[in-house]
Amino acid sequence: MKLTRIGAGLAAAIIGLAGMASAEEPEIKKLVIDGVEMTVAAPAPPYLENLDMIYSGWLFRSPETQALELDDFDNPGMVFVEQAQDMFSTPEGTAGKACADCHQLEDFKGLRTVLPRVEDDGKLWTMEDYINKCRTDRMGAKAWKYGGTELTSMVALIGLQSRGMPVNVKIDGPAKPYWEKGKEIFYTRVGQLDMACANCHEDNYGKMIRADRLSQGQINGFPTYRLKNGKLNSVHARFKGCMKNIRAQPYNVGGDEFKALELYIASRGNGLSVETPSVRN
Amino acid sequence: MKITGLTAVALVFGASVAMAEVVPPKEVKFTEDGAVETPVTTTPGNPANGRKVFAHRKKGNCLACHQNSDMKDLPFHGEIGPSLDGVGDRYSEAELRGIVVNAKKALNPDTIMPAFYKDWGFRRVLKKFQGKSILTAQEVEDVVAYLKTLKE
């Protein structure tokens, strides 16, 4: 009898703690890069039932890490962007063409905001897919490794052209089934630690998990330069790292599951600015 | 008579040095209130080792989510779960064991807290952890013994 009461009281107390209420809102600061103010906090899109506000991961970082993103000269991710700029104008492949022979960088303004998206073939295309398709079909060059430095650097260079513009991926029409699949992955517990993305990045953002402050897991700043590994990190590489942390077998980098998850998580950031390339820990 | 007594002593001694009897994860019995009354191994828990398992990042890694004033020497205590100061006062040994074995049964099915003594029923577990629990039976008992020492 006594045990029962203790058990019930305990369960009630824990349930009270377990909801959204346990997440902690970050301190809102202004992020201005190169004279352009970023939207780092915005009302959550209506399809996010459990969030009122969405926040850039920048808000959850320490002042020291935040400072690295304020100026492109300080941003270590820009080194990779510059390398991509060189690659952009270097001919490669059997056609003897460079990206620059057909494209001007400015043409890509806005592209980052709408990717991934469903193409005419009914498939979900990421920025990486477009770049590699161009390389293999038009340049006669080899596809770059998905998640590798070259491809991720090029994704950052093209993403940078949309910096400051709001993320605006489509979730309806042909995108709907992909979005639903991504959402299911986001809320499904996996691994020996038996956790879903939502357990940390929806229920507990703003809190410390050991030495790291949990963010909402937004990807508006990707590819992101991580101080932890000293390189640009693709969205899928980050997903993979997260899954390994919870001792789950990651999905394939560049595979259908991660593409669907990328669309879903991108949609959770609809309204935040593209911040590419961001700096995180 | 003398021989019988010796035999008895030998038997008892033999039993205590023999393999500890372990309750496999699938056979752990929870009470209705989510407590586990029977230790999961017959070898009594060692609180000193439990303290190590508690802090170890690849074992309990309890500090990832919980604060613990007994470990002030270690930096970065997490904020996800409640502080464990005085947890030995708030819960009985059986309740602590239930929470460590499987908090989803002991506390709340939606908790983020992993089950530390469960080796089946997960999705997409990394190969090297398949069919394994995060902690061994002995580590569970050691952690429980350590948690019992956390008094206000």
Strands (E), chain A: 31-33, 36-38, 41-43, 53-55, 117-118, 124-125, 208-209, 212-213, 224-226, 231-233, 278-280
Do the strands A212-213 and A231-233 form a parallel or antiparallel pair, or are they unpaired? unpaired
Task: State ipTM.
Answer: 0.89
- Angle between helical axes of A77-88 and A149-160 (0-180°, round to 10): 90
The nearest alpha carbon in chain B to A3 belongs to B33
Amino acid identity of residue B112, one-letter, is: I
Strands (E), B21-137: none
**Chain B residues interacting with chain A (CB cutoff of 8 angstroms):** 31-35, 57, 61, 63-65, 75-80, 82, 95, 104, 107-108, 110-112, 114-115, 122-127, 129, 132, 134
What CA–CA distances, in Å, run from A258 to A39, A119, A175, A185?
26, 17, 14, 9
Spatial distance between the Cα atoms of A118 and A123, rounded to a whole number of angstroms: 5
The shortest CB-CB distance from A249 to any of B35, B78, B126 is to B126
pTM of the full predicted structure? 0.91
The shortest CB-CB distance from B76 to any of A210, A214, A243 is to A210
Contacts of A131 (CB under 8 A, 6+ apart): A144, A151, A154, A155, A158
Out of A99, A197, A200, A242, the active site residue is A242
Strand partners, A280: A226
Does A21 lie at the interface with B, CB-CB under 8 angstroms? no
- pLDDT tens-place values along chain A, 281 residues long: 333 434 444 444 444 444 444 899 999 999 999 999 999 999 999 999 999 999 999 999 999 999 999 999 999 999 999 999 999 999 999 999 999 999 999 999 999 999 999 999 999 999 999 999 999 999 999 999 999 999 999 999 999 999 999 999 999 999 999 999 999 999 999 999 999 999 999 999 999 999 999 999 999 999 999 999 999 999 999 999 999 999 999 999 999 999 999 999 999 999 999 999 999 99
Spatial distance between the Cα atoms of B85 and A211, rounded to a whole number of angstroms: 19
Q: Which residues of B touch A243 (CB under 8 A)?
A: 124
Of A254, A265, A29, A31, nearest to A163 (Cα)?
A: A31
